[in-house]
A = this chain, B = another copy of it.
Amino acid sequence: MSPKDTIDDSSRTKPVDKILLGPGPTNIDERVKMALSREPMSHLDPDFFIILDNISELLRKIFQTENSTTFAISGTGSSGMEMSMANILEENDRILVLKNGVFGERMSDVASRYGADIIEMNVDWGKSFNQEDVIKKIKSISNLKAVSIVHAETSTGILQDLNYIGEYLKNTDIIFIVDTVTSLSGVEIQTDDWGIDVCYSGTQKCLSVPPGLSPITFSDKALKKIKRRNTKIPSWYLDLNMLMNYWGSERIYHHTAPVNMLFALHEGLKICHEEGLQNRFTRHKENGDYFDLKLQEMGIMPFVDKTKYGSLPMLKSIFIPQGIDDSSFRKNLLSKHNIEIGGGLGHTKGKIWRIGIMGYNSRKELIDNLFNVLGPYIV
């Protein structure tokens, strides 16, 4: 059989490396590449169990939690969202979903598939929730099982404060589910202190590991809720109890762990800790501020009003400068300058760009380079 007649084989030659300034994936460190290309080992090899334990321990430090149930799901960040809902919710369970962008909307879609009774709270895209308003709303709802919110809305660039909501929920029976896909290791996340019960993330944002895994952590309060379920967890692949029989001390085979991706995550987490978590936050903050300054100098409007709302340092949403055609411009940027930036989602499509300066790519020279390329096109 010769596939040569039908298969475009152009990718055989090494393609040009792109500078990834979209909403993820990012470029990755050489050490992560080395880890990815290691010889595989068995998912039941005692040497591999050491790596699993290290990953859990390093993730606990980044999530700032003591939760023993801290690991990485064998799926992308969205599988973390699905896992949270699948394990916490049973049919007709009431959940408050806070929606101010695509990922809040996705939470609602996912929860609906598990038969949840969904109550939504909305603010406009580009705005964050006032925590007092959220607490008032929570107080007004009877029999509430869970509240879910996005910490870093990748569709808008909004950073949502959570601490008061979590503090209030700590003294209730309600489970607090938080999406930190874009924020983890780029800004402060205090899982335990903020009262977060289920916190999930992705690998391809500030951790700068390729996409494919979802770090997640569950509080004891969440575990108790899951133990008291009346029905089986509806997803076999994302069944927390079975997964913890593997990630925990029993090491019972569930599915074949994606060993090479886990090598890569391990390396990415070590790099993160060698830099130091606070230093990493500072770097993201400084480069985010630097980006905003360049934006201002160039007269480009940010989508998020920083004077009123939290703005993500690692994901900048900006209005497309006047006179620029979104689609053709981004295509040219990618094909001629090898720079990727992201377009808007939903009703912001054609109106905003989303620019990621995350993890390995949170660097001044990449920001300078981008604005140097943009410069001539800005009127």
Whether A39 lies near B57 (C-beta < 8 A) is no
Taking CB atoms, residues of chain B closer than 8 Å to A334 are 45-46
Judged by a CB distance under 8 angstroms, whether A27 is at the interface is yes
Mask of A2-23 contacts with B, CB within 8 angstroms, 1/0: 1100111111101101101010
Give the number of chain A interface residues (Cβ < 8 Å): 87
Q: A3-B61, A27-B39 are in contact. Are A11 and B266 (CB under 8 A)?
A: yes
Whether B39 lies near A18 (C-beta < 8 A) is yes
Interface residues of A in 163-216 (CB under 8 A from B): 202, 204, 210-212
Interface residues of A in 34-77 (CB under 8 A from B): 34, 36-47, 50-51, 53-54, 57-58, 61, 74-77
Instruction: Determine the distance from Cα of A211 to Cα of B254 in the docked complex, in whole angstroms.
Output: 13
Q: Which of A121-129, A132-140, A142-150, A231-239 makes up part of the contact surface? A: A231-239
Taking CB atoms, residues of chain B closer than 8 Å to A17 are 39
Judged by a CB distance under 8 angstroms, whether A296 is at the interface is no
Those 5 A-B pairs whose CB atoms lie nearest each other, nearest first: A212-B258, A37-B37, A33-B37, A78-B255, A210-B260
Which residues of A does B touch, CB under 8 Å? 1-3, 6-12, 14-15, 17-18, 20, 22, 24-28, 33-34, 36-47, 50-51, 53-54, 57-58, 61, 74-79, 81-82, 106, 109-110, 112-114, 202, 204, 210-212, 232-237, 253-261, 264, 266, 270, 273, 276-278, 331, 334, 340, 345
